Each structure stands twice: as C-alpha cells, then as structure tokens.
Structure 1
C-alpha cells in the first residue's frame, strides 16, 4: 500500500471538466506550449450521428495546477475518489424514448432456458455476436431500473465491434436499439472502436465494468459513469504454443495470423477508460501508455507479458480501487487473473497474479473474465470467473476472499463449476463465460448471474441464472417468474 501511496503522491494531479458547450475539433498543441509536468487528457466524445462517427470531436484540457481544487481538504487530496451509496433520480440515465428500440425478451422454452438477450435483428449493430454483459441495478423510491452494457458485432458493417446499452425494469425483459443512440433517453450503440491509428482500441472493444463515482479529478455537477474496457489493436503478439489455437477463439475472437515463419500471432489488448454523464455518450480518457491505454503488459518474464484483458474494477473505499484482469501466463502455460490497485482510478500499480489453473479441475487451463463483488452481508469478496478446462470447455467458477487481494480460495472444493454449458439442445451448449454477478436486495434474497453463452455454430447470447438460495454457491438458469 505504501508503494501505491508514494507512486500516487509523486504523480501530477489532473482534472477533466465536462463542458455544456459544443466540442471543438481536435486542437494540435505545439510541444513548446505543453506543460513539462502535466500531460493533458484527450477526450473523444462519440457522435450519435453515424456519418460523423469517423470524425469525432476532440479537445485537450490540460490542468494548470498540479493539485486538485484549492478548497479541497487534505483528506480529500489523499482519498480523491469516492463512490456514492445512494442515487438521486437525476443521476439515472433516462429510460428509452426512441421508437426504434425493440424488445429483447424471449419466451422461455426447452432450448432457450435462461436466455434474456438474443442477437439483434438483421442489419442491427449487434446482429452477428453479443457478449461481455455489464449489468447494473438501481433502486429508488419510485422505481427499479436495470442497465446492461455489452459488446456487439455486425457482419454487414466492417470494423463494427461496438459497445451498446440495453435497459430493463426487472433485469429480465430488455429494451435495445438497432443503431446508434440519438439522445440521452435512447438505447443502442453507444461506443465504437477508436479511429486514431496509434490507439490501442482500433480493432475491437469489450466492456468490463461500469463504476459510478465522483472524483476531484473529474469536475462535474454530479457523479459520472466510468467505463473500464478492453481494447484490441492492430499490433500482434507472438504466440509460440500451437495448443492455444483451440482456446483463443470464439467468444474472444482472437484471430491467429500465420505468416508462415513458424510463429502465430494474436491482436494485443490493453485496458482503457471512458467517462460519461448519461451512460450513453462516452469520452475516452488517455492513460499513461503511448497508445492511450491505462497501462502496458508486463516484461518478458512477467505473467502478463502477452496482453491485458477484462479490466473489472471494484471500489473498496476512498482512495482504494482494485482492478482484476486476465492474461496468459506463458511460463506456466495457463490463463490467470491478476490484480492492480489505484488511488484515483487512472494510475494503477500491479500486485501480481492471484488465480491460475488447477490440474484435473474444470479450470485446469486457467481463469479469465473475472467479476468481483463485495458481499453486502459479510463484507467478503466473491469472484465469478470463466474457467477453461483441459478440453477447452468453458464454465463459470466462484472464489471468495476476505480482503479481495491475494487470499482467494474456490468456493467449491470438488471439481464442479457453479454453472456449466447447457445440455445438447440448449442455446448455450458450447460454453458459458463472461460472468456478471449481481447481489439482489430488498424483498428478494438471491444472487443473479448474467453470462455470455455460446451455442451451435458459435451463435452467442446473454443468459441469466439465479442462486439456489441466498448463498452464491449453485446457480440454475432462469425459467420464469414463480408465484
């Protein structure tokens, strides 16, 4: 923790302001005018107009002072990031008003048990593939609101990997849009791949977490949405182990590039950050890496030397955020999950690998796509993750930790996953993964597990399972409301 504090204290403090006025085009700042101690963030706001998507508005906002607002107390300087525990009605994104939104619900049947979001209709932005669900539930005195950010792909549009938003009143029946959002009350595509040739996210983007926070580093009238996501670039990573060919495929869609030189290559991925005031219009935040990513892969001998993916962030307390992510440990020949820590959500310090594979179990080849939730009852941390078996089968496992750092242990001592692929005729019979764990409160004492499922022909969808009782140890696919 002392290393994190010293690193944070030595860094120049920066701030970003949301402007009410229209954005100006990109401004090239001469190097002679740049502050030697302050690197400006570059924010790209994605236009909802598809004709303008290739020309996003960009502006640079360097912070003149190396400290936060002068009126901020020393305690606030030290713990500069906070998360509200309650939300006013004005902080909710509005429910969809667009007539283009369509219902995504489906009647349960023997082959569609648990499916809550199917592929979009032909021609829509998410008609070919969907996954990586990030689900949030908001309760107020008047209503219950659910939001799901997820990735989508369309074969009709080249380079169309995008992030979209669907909304619901119960977390089961979802409203989605076929195209880009047009207003703060719309649903549909909300973020596309980066357009700058040097950026880390030009090939594909996948949401990993959305955190609602206020911070002295982001000046806004209220709390804003922080989207942590995975970005894939044109840069390739050499993979020498041919056995990976059966594992790095759908749903990640790592595409091998064989140059006939004895090496196989996959696109490099890194973690990114974007912020929004309505959950729909996002502004990218430039990290410390030259590509705009938050941080780079490790050195050749580090466990995360190939890529960084699925950066899921948990708010532990003021000035203490934890990021869980996965990579491939070349030395041990397995996927693994690691942790990084931050005081401000932007600068991160890696703490190492915390979960790997277990010989003879459902996660023998490792663990990916972590989702960590702090239990509201006992304060312990639960991690749902996607386990990869020795035969390549994908299942969902669960681990628990008292501190959320390196003391993780599996919930089940046997070789059973908490959720396996569906039966032969089910829509998700080829594998399940990308878990998103939600602890229900109020009148319902249960856990919900949203996940990406893969079926015959690689067809993908998003499903939901519920816990068998109040403990998150076993899950069954949702089959309908029970009176």
Structure 2
C-alpha cells in the first residue's frame, strides 16, 4: 500500500458540503491558484479499503445555521473564482445591504494615534461578530487585472457569548473589508461560514478558531478545482487539570479579552478548556466539511502523554506546504514543567495523518518581551531567499503580549529570533485602540511594485475591545513594522 492509500484509510467521515455530480482531481497534494480552476459540481471523498464505513463518502449540503433543512438545493457556483478560460477574478452577484454591514470602521482619522493600524472592527450590535473578533487568516489572490483578498477570522456575538463562529470577509486591497452580519447565503460573499460542532462527542463543541487555509488538492478529494483546507483549533467542555498555580498571569484556553467573563470562571490556571487541531475542506472557502482525524473526538491528533511538553492542550495549528509529501504544522501548548508557552512542529505526507517532531521554541531571556514563552506561530516561506519567516505572539513576565519574528533556513528546529528584547510590534500608546496587547499575527508577502510585508494581527484595548489591525514593513526589511496610516501618494 502506498503512502497516499495508507493515509486515505485514516479518513473516517466528513460532514456537510454542497455537491451534485462526480469529478476528479488529478494532481495530489499540489497548490492550485483558485482562478485557474474550473467550477466544480461535486466533492466526493474516497477511502482505500472496502469496508462499508470507508467506501465512497458523499457530502451533503453544508449549513452554517443549526437545524437548517439541508435538502434545499441552491446555486452551486457562488464563488469568486472564474472558470479556467478567464484571466480576471470576477465577483459573484452583488452583496446585499441586508447581509453586509458597511466597510470596516477605518475612517479618515485612521492616521490618528487612537485608531492607527485598525482595518477591521467589531460587527454591528446584532451581528454574529459583535462581541469579539480575532485570529485573522489572510490570503491574497492575483490575476492579470485584479487582486482579491479573503480573511477568515473568528467572531463571537453578544447574543451567544459561550461559543465562537468562523467567518469570511472579502476585500480588493486588503485594507477595506466587506463583512456579513449573519450566516453566509448561496449568493453572498461574506459572513459566518462555520459554527461549533453539534455532535456531543466532538472536540470542537464549545469554541473554534481558524489558524490556516491551504489551497491544495489530494488523491482523496476528487473534484475539478482547487480545494481549500482549513486547519483550526477546536475547544470542548473537557478541562485540562493543573496541579498548582505558580504564574503571575491568568492562563485561559481559549483566551478571552472582552470585559465580561463569559464562563464566570475565576482567574488562574487550575482549569482550562482542552483544545485539539481540526481540519475542514471547502471548494469555495465558504461551505465547509469537517474531516475526522484519527482521534476518537474527530481531531487530527491528541495532546502529549503525561510527561510531554504538550500534554495540556494543542492550539493554533498552522500548516505550511514545504514540498510534495512534506507538510509542516506549527502549534503551541503550555509547557508545565518549564512554566512557559512553547511552539512545536508536526509533519505529514497527506495533511491528515500527523507525526509530532517535538518542541522547537520556548521562552526568551529574562526581561524579554517573550520571557514566558511563544504562541500563535504563523510561518511563511520567503519567496526571495527560500528561508522561513515566523511571526509569533510573545508573552512577557506580566502576561503582556507583543509580536516577534524568527527565521530559519529549514523551517524545522534552527529558528533564530530577530529581536532580543524589543518586539517587532508592541502594544500602542495609551490612547490607542490596541494599547493592551497585540497577537495572533499573520504575514503576507507582497509582490509587484511594492516590496514589503504586511502583518495582520489581533489588537486588544479599551477595556478588552478587540479588532484586527495591519502593520507594514520598511520595504523588504522584516525586523520592524509600522502600523498602517493610510495610502501615501
């Protein structure tokens, strides 16, 4: 049995995605730009053995609302990707005013210190993302005549304070974003696209956070277009137990930044929610199907054993395609023995079955911005020199959050920090919208006439109010970033 067939046998089931007829993907595990793909009508998963459970698994309609009738068929081509003969990204039908709020709140005062860098704020009062937002995953797609941006992020509403949803916002420049106030429809471009699982046994029943979207195909997914693979963190009601509280800051999983403590729990590290890595796939970035991993809860893999550094939880699984048959996942956990957050790595041949390779980064030196560890790693391969660049969230001794950078020639264990004490991006001045901390970084390498990097991040300020900001590098120099203040002519 070859590697692809062996991996396929580990695929158990999927849930919810729009389909109608069968087609096939010929290139296994290959990146395919969405605008070069044709519009598919079906997505079918195949497993390698002949057992009844692992025979052809046909996906049914995905619903972002609980108890929605999945038998109602609607337009299957509601995606911004054109057919294979088109050179220009074409938007779908116009976005209605009823489903979208106005552009994100970046006004003409964006250059002021209070709102510098803010490109995406909280949604309207009755929207699914009105209470809290974060974890941006930003992708830029280029054609000959146009650019198109997607941003997946998590949101939480005031009406449903106990759980998160994953949503999609769209843009033509990566700065001004269009959002949706509710669940995405068949013809809408933005809105809530994925909610927590309704299965009592699943690992993601309480909260979900997006971590990475990889565009690739697989021998297990037979369709005529590129497929989006969403790696995310899922949280359950199961708690990770801690024997003692010796930290100077509150350790929570998932982290919450808004004023109200939604779970009514006291500060401390005695109990936190257990989280594990998950995978979902989509043909349009909007309608998602969960794929069950080897863990009994449907997660891709479990926490470490009692004496391993990642035995409490697994969070922020970000995946990088290194080469054919070589995918790397970066994730973080809390190392109880050393009392710090750490980043580990796992590797896979197919993106579904993973083997852990160990911890690769821990806390910095005494007095550094990341003294108590590193988390929320986001890795990208520099197109110019082939090196790997990691943006990560550093935790200071007092629990303060900043963003640091590291580089590696292999992307494995030889990471070198680019800063010793000062972070690449720190919390803003006293009246800034992100004056209480910055984190969850995501790097985008620009090309064309602009030789720079963009750093998207979650900012916290104003008593726990969250937003998504953007900073830019000084040309190709990635040692420091400045918050975006507007277009310069």
1:347/1:39 CA distance change after superposition, 3 Å: farther
Report the alpha carbon displacement of residue 265 of structure 1 after superposing the two structures with TM: 1.0
Q: Kindly tell me: are residues 189 and 225 of structure 1, through their superposed partners in 2, closer, same or farther at Cα, counting changes over 3 Å?
A: same
1:457 alignment partner, SS class: coil
Task: State the 1:154 CA deviation.
Answer: 0.5
Q: How far is the alpha carbon of 1:9 from its aligned partner?
A: 7.3
1:23-422 alignment to 2 at 5 Å? 35=51, 38=54, 46-48=62-64, 50=65, 52-53=67-68, 94=91, 97-99=94-96, 100-102=99-101, 103-107=103-107, 108=110, 109-157=112-160, 159-244=162-247, 246-249=249-252, 252-253=255-256, 264-360=270-366, 361-412=368-419, 414-422=420-428
Per the TM alignment, residue 367 of structure 1 is displaced from its structure 2 partner at its CA by 0.3
1:253: how far off?
2.5
The TM-score normalised by the length of structure 2 is 0.82
SS of equivalent to 2:230: strand
Q: Give the conservation status (yes or no) of the 8 Å contact 2:18–2:287.
A: no
Instruction: Render the CA deviation track for 1:32-71: whole Å, top value 9, x for unaligned.
Output: x9829958879675314x3635x778xxxxxxxxxxxxxx
TM-score (norm 1): 0.83
Q: Which residue of 1 aligns with 2:42?
A: none
Aligned to 2:433: 427
Cα pair distance change 1:47/1:92, threshold 3 Å: farther
2:78 corresponds in structure 1 to: none
Evaluate the alpha carbon distance shift between residue 196 and residue 121 of structure 1 in structure 2; reply closer, same or farther with a 3 A threshold: same
The alpha-carbon deviation at position 6 of structure 1 amounts to 9.6
Would you say the 8 A contact 2:456–2:470 is kept in 1?
yes
RMSD of the alignment, in Å?
A: 3.0
| Cα 1:12–1:163 shift into 2, 3 Å | closer
Change (3 A) 1:351 1:8: farther
Say whether the 8 Å CA contact 1:45–1:284 is kept in structure 2. Answer: no
Task: Write out per-residue CA displacement over residues 273-310 of structure 1, whole angstroms, 9 at most, x where no aligned residue.
Answer: 00000100000000000000000000001110000000
Runs (5+) with no aligned partner, structure 2: 22-48, 72-83
What is the alpha-carbon distance in structure 2 between the residues aligned to residue 105 and residue 406 of structure 1? Answer: 40
Name the CA shift for 1:44/1:166 in 2 (closer, same or farther; >3 Å): same
Residue deviations 1:105-131 (CA, integer Å, cap 9, x gap):
411032000000000010100000000
| 1:401-442 deviation digits (Å, cap 9, x = unpaired) | 000001111012x30100000110000000000000000001
Residue 21 of structure 1 is matched in structure 2 by 20
Aligned equivalents of 1:291, 1:142: Cα separation in 2: 45
Residue range with higher mean Cα deviation, 176-185 or 308-317: 176-185
How much has 1:183 moved relative to structure 2?
Answer: 1.6
Query: Is the CA contact 2:377–2:441 (under 8 Å) kept in the aligned structure 1?
Result: yes
Going from structure 1 to structure 2, the CA distance change for 1:267 and 1:146 (only over 3 Å counts) comes to: same
**Whole-Å separation in 2 of the counterparts to 1:259 and 1:123:** 26
Q: Return the alpha-carbon distance in structure 2 between the equivalents of residues 459 and 158 of structure 1.
A: 14
Looking at structure 1, the residues matched to 160 and 89 of structure 2 have their Cα atoms a distance apart, in angstroms, of 31
CA 1:458–1:249 in 2, change beyond 3 Å: closer, same or farther?
farther
* 3-state secondary structure, aligned to 2:477: coil
Matched, 1:443 2:449: yes
Contact persistence 1:43–1:286 (CA under 8 A) = no
